[in-house]
Structure 1
Amino acid sequence: MLSINIEYSWERFSADYQLAIAPGMTTLLGASGEGKSTLLHLLGGFLSGQGELSFQGQSLLALPAYQRPITTLFQSDNLFPQLTVWQNVAIGLNASLALSAEQKQRVIWALEKTQLQDKAERFPQALSGGQAQRVAIARALVRKKPILLLDEPFSALDPALREEMLQLVAKVTEEYDLTTLLVSHLPQEALLVGGRVVLIEKGKVAAHESVDVLQQPQKIAAFAEYFGHNRGL
């Protein structure tokens, strides 16, 4: 269980996040500027907040980003253009790229899971958008961290590729019992990946429900209001 009780303030924005997240897929919904990405940055250690943050009983808030059991995928795939696909995945294990035999097997495993084994020697500029995002996912997988944070990493992809990437993340989350948080503006993405959905408003958790609530949002006041203000989503 990922337990969150964090306060954060910056200029005119203040947030107070309080929720507990079980393993599986959780989608963070909310309008722009409401604090979805801020929550992910606090969890990942890229912003400093006050309060409590723990995972399976271990306190995380005092740990720097690199020591937390967390991998974050941002909107950019963050691939190194001078490195091959293999090297871009391997660097998730060791910045020097000097891997043990066991680590090399983990890279092979991650490439197979993301169907990139035949692209191992290619450079990022030779990849399609979807392939580049799969490299980023492979690098996340190879680290074998139990928490995966997705800050709209597929937003620039066309709808078909975006759906493919979301299905891959949902499959990997289930197979390896990950705790995955996905930031999205699209309720249909939450329905696609399943699990639970959290509505963020003004830096707070307005609702935390099964994703099934999106089929009949009028039953929960916060979701009814969200959908009423976002009919185009």
Structure 2
Amino acid sequence: MLTIKDCRLVWPDFTADYSLSVENGTLCAIVGPSGGGKTTLLHMIAGFETPDSGELTFDGQDLRPLSPAARPTSIVFQDHNLFPHLTASENVSLGLRASLRLTAEERTLVADTMEAVGLHRLGHRKPGEMSGGQRQRMALARALISRKPLILLDEPFSSLDPSLRRDMILLVDDMRRSRPVTILMTIHTPDEVADLADQMAFVADGRVVASGLPAEIMQGPWVYRHRPESAG
């Protein structure tokens, strides 16, 4: 289980105080208004932000002393964070070894993972030669191949059209059902993931306002209080 308890981060203009529990094997959608702290939550779990206090554990292991590389997490950013001078196969291979010096078994694993995300014929192409959806699949493949048990997706499909976005969400769900992995995904369109997510957390004003079944969260009063048109 991922356990976040009273994790507090303070900046001059913003304070976050998170508490959330996510069971292993869960697809948890993180929703809420822009600027509410969704990305900061993922960055804290990944190790890019350090809480001043609180408890942050995964399977009983304290994550706070660990560097981002040492944590059991893999994160996919909104901008993919791909290397333009490397091929698709090389970008995916970085999930295994930064040196790109793979064993024969590892090269087979890269090929199998790329096939799983529909890129098996595009391994020679570079990111600039691929569509937005293909780049999204590449970034997802790199996260999956890392074999980290906790995958964090920060609005990875926001730039895609609705039909392709739905296809990518279905792919994420298929992949997490085929291997033991826990996924936290921030998303601005909760209705697109409500039928697949096991859990949904509503984040606003730097805290987890509510967490539970998607249907319960989407119908809760906090949703209406934080809609843009309700401001003022």
TM-score, length of structure 1 as denominator length:
0.91
Task: Work out whether 1:212 is the aligned partner of 2:215.
Answer: yes
Q: Does 1:159 align with 2:134?
A: no
* Superposition pairs of residues 42-191 of structure 1, within 5 angstroms: 42-49=44-51, 50-191=53-194
Q: Does 1:195 align with 2:208?
A: no
Q: 1:164 to 1:230 in 2, by over 3 A?
A: farther
Whole-Å separation in 1 of the counterparts to 2:99 and 2:34: 38
The whole-number CA distance in structure 2 between the counterparts of 1:3 and 1:230 is 33
| Counterpart Cα distance in 1 of 2:4 and 2:229 | 27
Q: Which of 33, 36, 51 is residue 35 of structure 2 equivalent to?
A: 33
1: distance between equivalents of 2:151 and 2:204? 22
- After superposing the two structures, state which structure 1 stretch, 183-192 or 119-128, moved more: 183-192
Given that 2:211 and 2:217 are in contact with CA atoms closer than 8 Å, whether structure 1 keeps it comes out as no
CA RMSD of aligned residues (A): 1.7
Q: TM-score, normalised by structure 2?
A: 0.92
Q: Which amino acid aligns with 1:155?
A: S
TM-fit CA distance, 1:69: 0.5
Larger proportion of helix:
1
Structure 1, unaligned stretches of length 5 or more? none
Tell me the alpha carbon deviations over residues 40-69 of structure 1, each in whole angstroms, 9 at most, x when there is no partner.
010000111132111111111110000000
Segments ≥4 residues shifted beyond 2 Å: 220-226, 228-231
Question: Could you say which residue in structure 1 is the equivalent of 2:4?
Answer: 4
Aligned residue pairs, count: 227
| Greater alpha carbon shift after TM alignment, 145-154 vs 76-85 | 76-85
| Residue identity opposite 1:27 in structure 2 | A
One-letter amino acid matched to 2:142: R
Structure 1 pair 203–87 and aligned structure 2 pair: CA distance change class (3 A): same
Deviation by residue 1:106-156 (Cα, 9 ceiling, x = unmatched): 212211111111111112222111111111111111101111111101111
Structure 2 unaligned segments of length 5 or more: list them: none
1:221 matched residue in structure 2: 221
- Secondary structure of 1:47's aligned partner: coil
Q: Contact 2:201 / 2:217 at 8 angstroms: preserved in 1?
A: no
Q: What secondary structure, in the 3-state scheme, does the structure 1 residue paired with 2:158 have?
A: coil
In the alignment, is the contact (CA less than 8 A) between 1:3 and 1:21 conserved in 2?
yes
Return the letter of the residue paired with 2:10.
Answer: S
Write the distance in 2 (CA, Å) between the matches of 1:24 and 1:177. Answer: 9
1:13 partner amino acid: F
1:83 aligned partner, one-letter code? L
Secondary structure class of the residue paired with 1:121:
coil
Identity of aligned residues (%): 39
